[in-house]
Structure 1
């Protein structure tokens, strides 16, 4: 059964003592996508919390395809683990920390210091993400920025994104700024960053990341939901529906612009996630539409919910609620349907 498009006017809905020499800090200075080619999608983290690093690579080196990405884990960041990536080999380098750190498994004095994805090929005209998880320790203090140098290799060419701004200097002044994470007190992480830090949800061959919902004003009957799904298997799957306690039902919708008017319609057969593909549901494109709301979705809340796939079945997820009209989290591109 098909449904006609519905038209709407377009609207955008100090480090601890002894570590300064080994961990670079600058107040509130973070490299941004506008002027850096290797950036971190999650811009904030908190001491003694798990941080999910998503290194975004927007293009190659002077037109050459990217063949390897290496991330350096700075002092004060422990228990780093990379996420495997289809078509790429993983390698890590371990070493001793400057001091011992408490962890969930006792005290640790060594760990992964460097992560490399290699052997793949990311053409200059494409975008991709390289993901790792690590724990920020009490060595990092709120108000500073922790930098993760990234080395990008491209068919013989190399670009090192490792420059760190000096005190009072802007990262915009640097030729190859290192991606940075601003450190904030626990509880002050933005909903988008908190959602990402929660880590991915695995469901068979699918990896679900950063589920979030826009907050709604009182009396609203619909809410938009967003996330990204990666299929690492050999068979396609389809995202069929979604649910949260606040909504009567949740559908997959598509929005596109037509002569200045945003047109939206359900994706009746479900959104296909092809093998090896990452599909991003975001404002202005494919998204979830939660209908018949029983109350408002409040910014900062976490809503238990689920996603239903044709093959993977029903998968429990937690939706973080962002601000009204928010466009974050900036999940980036991925291979999207058109």
Structure 2
């Protein structure tokens, strides 16, 4: 076989591979690479969506990090939700999954009851929680007052607004419950039997048998939870808007983050800067910060898991 024939064969193989990869390449280019490059480009521009963009160097970056007062509260709230909300969802989802796999009767009923809240639309679920946790007339605070317990301000109190959002997220933990149930049912029973013969307690069986077997699923839940929480937008926005008494389409101007910027997240900041203040350059800066933060957290988690696996081996 001549050199020319070998080159032609390799070229045909490369073209065939490119043809099979073309749907992914087109999707990656149109929906990821181009928006990312455009965001980087506009982050160095003064642009309001109407006039031609004008290069202004690092002014947008300097404004966001030093002059815009809402950036650092939004950053702190987003990181708080990533650490607390994701941890609570994973722990609660795993706990419910363990509980349902252990009970002998009514499994289908309990599985349905815990999964149904996940199907509730985010806006409707948030409205329901704002009503239930209303500090003046909500049934939750009414019951707490009847029991002689302190009644928090929930979505009207900066100290309790993020815990209230965490409760809302934990209430809709049905997706993680189903994933963990599938993983728990795949754990080999022989390993549990061997551990019992060795005299392992329930906690030791969970630690040394259950967790090692479901650790990839736990990592999947944590990584996807971090990415989803980085995009937390609808629930805090609706909760803050309803708790503040501003109704949609009422003509009133609403600055996200009520009360006292405690529910303000980075995605809300992107929307506020880009579509309410028409400062697309600053909005692109915040979007890039959010992207970098998500990439850093995801990479750290994956590398951490890789280090743990090597240590275990």
Q: Is the radius of gyration larger for structure 1 or structure 2?
A: 2
Q: TM-score range by the shorter chain?
A: under 0.3
**Structure 2 length as normaliser, TM-score?**
0.21
**Structure 1 length as normaliser, TM-score?**
0.20
Between structures 1 and 2, the one with greater strand share: 1
Between structures 1 and 2, the one with greater helix share: 2
